[in-house]
Chains A and B, each alone.
Chain A
Amino acid sequence: MSILSMCQWLQDTNIGTSIRESIWSFPIIETTHVLALSISVGLLLVSDLRLMGYIMKRRPASEVYEQIKPWMFIGFAIMTITGIFLFWCQAVKAYNSIFFRAKVILLVLAAINALAFERGIYRKIDKWDNALVPPMEARLAGWLSLIFWVAIITCGRTMAYTF
């Protein structure tokens, strides 16, 4: 079974068809996906900016990051769930879109960057928690995160124009 035929099967399921054919489902799911950007990427931005050394410099970096983390995860959970449903109802169009493919790759890169940060320099947080400007590795993680998410938002918005 090719990926394309899997996509075709997915959007032909009851759920896929009913979202596509309903007047309200798609707009509601899509609007939730867009507005939840503020709770996911919007909150992530604050912790990225702390890592870059631009915001809340006098507070420990771990505090800025950890306190906002549960809320950020709620935001990303909403993004993931709504995103899955949006893909579900138009999987073939998404599969054929270069912007969707780029978005998936960028999401993987953003996840790798976050993991590398957690497993890497963040393990030595004791050494730089109160630094006004965190070490190079942490600043780089912040910058990469920002760049990846700007690109992800761009791909997400642009793919809708090509549908």
Chain B
Amino acid sequence: MSAIIPFFQWCDNTMISQAIRNSRIAFPIIENFHLFALTVLLGSLVVLVLRQFGLVYKGQPISEVASALRPWNRWSLAVMLTSGFLLFLSEAMKCYGNTSFRVKMFFLFFALLFQFTFYNRIVKNEGTSAPVGGKIAAAVALCLWFGVGLAGRAIGFLG
């Protein structure tokens, strides 16, 4: 892992990192946006998963619920990644030594991979009810994204 230390050091020393560190309010403001985006990102996923399990909006095909939620899911993901990257820049070296951060990146990688290779395609083709495979995919997506959130919160608590 030590081969990537120079990258973390570089991140830690960019002008943006220093500007965020030197400001008293930049970090809290960015983190607030990170939290709004978490609410929308996980919220839109929870609605879709509830639909796949047939617990809400049974009158609407799954693909229709998915496309109604898609812009909100996409935009919140964009805000999430941007704000998250800025937070990371401001304390890159702290993140490097943080086990929770590594776990979070692991979850994030697989959450993004799973969503863009499988999950989005699966829900696009589901009609009035989801087959077992679709329900499993829903549960996997939910676990991966909540894993990101859980590990993210642990960065501050556990180290």
Chain A window 20-50, contacts with chain B (Cβ cutoff 8 Å), 1 for yes, 0 for no: 0000000100110011011101110110010
**Are A67 and B158 in contact, CB atoms less than 8 angstroms apart?**
no
Q: Contacts A34-B35, A34-B153 given: A41-B60 contact, CB under 8 Å? A: no
A-chain residues with CB within 8 Å of residue B69 when the two chains form the complex: 46, 55
Query: Is A77 interfacial (CB 8 A cutoff)?
Result: no
> With a CB–CB cut-off of 8 A, which chain B residues contact A67?
56-57
CB distance A38 to B57 under 8 Å?
A: no
Of A27, A46, A49, A63, which one neighbours B59 at CB under 8 angstroms?
A63
CB contact between A35 and one of B36, B59, B149, B157 (< 8 Å): that residue: B149
What is the total number of residues of chain A having a CB less than 8 Å from a CB of chain B? 28
Q: How far is the CA of A155 from the CA of B47 in the complex (A)?
A: 26
Q: Are B35 and A30 in contact (CB under 8 A)?
A: no
Bound: A37/B38 CA distance, A: 8
Number of residues from B at the complex interface, CB < 8 A: 32
- In the complex, the answer to whether B59 meets A59 with C-beta atoms within 8 Å is yes
A61 to B78, CA, bound (A): 28
Per the bound structure, the CA–CA distance linking A41 and B39 in Å amounts to 7
Query: 5 additional contacts, CB 8 Å, given A31-B150, A42-B46, A64-B57?
Result: A39-B46, A42-B39, A43-B43, A56-B65, A68-B57
